[in-house]
Amino acid sequence: MGADPTHVMVDRQAAIKNTHVFNVKVDVEGKATNQRSSGRCWLFAGTNVLRRAIIKQYKLDESFELSQSYLFFYDKLEKANWFLENMIDLADRDIDDRVVQYLLASPVGDGGQWDMFVNLVEKYGVVPKSVYPETYASSSSGRLDWLVTVKLREFAVQIREQPASAASLRVLKEKMMEDIYRIMVICLGEPPKTFDFEAVDQNGKFAVGLKNLTPQRFFKEVCKYPVAETMSLINDPRNKYEALYTVDRLGNIVGGHPIRYVNTSADVLKKLAVNVLKSGRPVWFGCDVGQFSNNKLATMDTKVYDYSPFNVKYTDISKKNRLLYGESLMTHAMVFTGVHISEDGKPVRWRVENSWGEDLGDKGFWIMSDDWFSEFVYQVVLEKSDVPKKLVGLLDNEPTILPAYDPMGALASPH
């Protein structure tokens, strides 16, 4: 007998004040998307940012989407190769080594980071969802993940137990990758090499008809989003601000862009995000979505629950200590599309495009309180031109390397 205690702990006043009214909002949001039973939030958030320019240019219905499944296919493929390269590189380490075990735990998890998204779209381009739609295996990815993981662990055994040079192991790896590719094609279908892009506008009139496009050409000529000119800012109070960080052995494409974060304060993240939203552009961000979050209200608010009967408050542990003691980490990527600014110029609440369908919140859009941003938002992605030169210049430095299992890599790792 009993029920979830949080159902009766909702603070009514906090729920009432979280209204979907914003005095700063992008003009084209797009309809909320649905990642379903998968961990592809970062791909959905990324494609949601990219699609807006296409919707705007051709006056398309806001239900238009880019194919998340297309990028998912190549991300899985590249992660498999990344994992095997790591197994070759770490073949002389003990099997109980913490990093080896961490990589074996989830060789090709669904998660990812912004720089991994950049790697994918720069190498493979993008396609409309109509060209490469969802399948069962993309929308409910657990079985596909299991199949690929079983093969990769089998291959890891072969790599570690075979007395061979790294060069000969890489020849063997190419044969292994053929098996992974076969699994991906069976489950998701062969990705298109070329396609036609035809669509009608919001009024049902023919809007665009582009023939024989490659995904790479579609990205460069139709999307026109400057992914190469973006950067990630994080708020990690464990570590020094105004410094560059990366995460050991985190990535997807061998030889691609490394994961790089410039660490700064939450106030800087907010100020820059507000400026971008005021210019009419959305902001990709990473956070710990499960903290003080109410699905029914589609609200992220440090005051949404009254936990006083349990003597629990979010202020009992600092943001720094939550990261240090395992209480918080990056778990989810979404997109800011608006913010409400008070009369004294400070953000009050943020409008969030989630990828959990249209049934929650304002047709899939959530509300985040500004206090929640301070405590549980860890990353925002901005164009370099929107960031102070002093912070941009840090990208030229050698980064401090955080361990593979660090919370700042958790968005792309098992959690």
**Which residue range is the domain that position 354 belongs to?**
5-402
The whole-number pLDDT of residue 394 equals 99
User: Out of 41, 187, 223, 287, which one is annotated catalytic?
Assistant: 41
The answer to the question of residue 413 being in a domain is: no
Q: What is the CATH number of the domain that holds 396?
A: 3.90.70.10
The whole-number pLDDT of residue 199 equals 96
The whole-number pLDDT of residue 2 equals 63
Q: Split the chain (415 residues) into runs of 10 and give each run's mean pLDDT.
A: 74 83 97 98 99 97 98 99 97 97 97 99 99 98 98 97 86 96 98 98 96 98 96 99 99 98 99 99 98 94 90 88 97 99 97 98 97 98 99 99 97 74
The answer to the question of residue 373 being in a domain is: yes
The answer to the question of residue 316 being in a domain is: yes
Q: How many domains does the chain have?
A: 1
The answer to the question of residue 317 being in a domain is: yes
Give catalytic status of residue 332 as yes or no: yes
User: Out of 187, 294, 332, 340, which one is annotated catalytic?
Assistant: 332
In this structure, what token pair is assigned to residue 90?
A: 């770490």
The answer to the question of residue 412 being in a domain is: no
User: Out of 48, 86, 235, 354, which one is annotated catalytic?
Assistant: 354
The whole-number pLDDT of residue 309 equals 85
Give catalytic status of residue 354 as yes or no: yes
Nearest 5 degrees, angle CA 283-CA 287-CA 292?
A: 125
The answer to the question of residue 408 being in a domain is: no
The answer to the question of residue 262 being in a domain is: yes
The answer to the question of residue 133 being in a domain is: yes
